[in-house]
Chain A
């Protein structure tokens, strides 16, 4: 099993350009998440999904959109990139609370995408 994979690993954009980050998981997880990691701030949740066809806003959703058309994929889009979106982006997935026996189930993380917006 590949676990959680992310594409691309690195990207440089100019201000105003758009791009889509792809996350894929092969563990049949219900929940998927997108985080951004900035120095001294830990990870902050951008958007998440509790199942195919559903999405919800996290802590810092502005400037991003997401889609979960297939259970195994979770896409993060930047319609008009800004320098403030320079960051490392991590995707994660987890089992539903029901299957995990309640809250506290582990989130499995991808290797990250390093994005620079000039």
Chain B
């Protein structure tokens, strides 16, 4: 079956530091890949996505590249801010067929950024 594995957290950084959150997946074919973010007390919001190999998703200074050869979708940001403190989830929708009910999440990584 499909699965998503994220680096264990929590991750604690100082403001303006470089961020990497690793995400690897197991799936047949070419799934669509996502990063969702959950700010304290809120629901999840889509941060970025990529739907085919070598695609780069980007939003709010965050980037992730769909790497088929390493089955990875690592999240990066060059200079984090205190406002980036949140929980980050990597997720996938299986390739082919319909997408309903098929979003598979990783366990989430807690990011805390200090001033």
Do the beta carbons of B51 and A104 come within 8 Å of each other?
yes
A111 within 8 A of B: yes
Q: Does B17 belong to the interface (CB within 8 Å)?
A: no
Chain B residue contacts of A90, Cβ below 8 A: 43-44
Report if A103-B107 is in contact (Cβ < 8 Å); known contacts: A4-B43, A43-B44, A90-B44: no
Further pairs besides A33-B100, A92-B44, A105-B99: 11, Cβ < 8 Å: A42-B89, A42-B107, A48-B100, A90-B44, A94-B100, A103-B32, A103-B95, A103-B96, A104-B93, A104-B99, A106-B49
A41 touches B97 (CB 8 A): no
In the complex, what distance in Å separates the CA atom of A42 from the CA atom of B4? 10
Residue pairs across A and B with CB atoms within 8 Å: the count is: 69
Distance in angstroms from B107 CB to nearest chain A CB is 5
Interface string of A39-82 (1 = CB under 8 A from B): 01111110010100000101000000000000000000000000
Ranked nearest first, the 10 interchain pairs of A and B with the lowest CB-CB distance are A109-B43, A104-B32, A42-B105, A103-B99, A48-B101, A109-B44, A104-B51, A106-B46, A42-B107, A43-B105
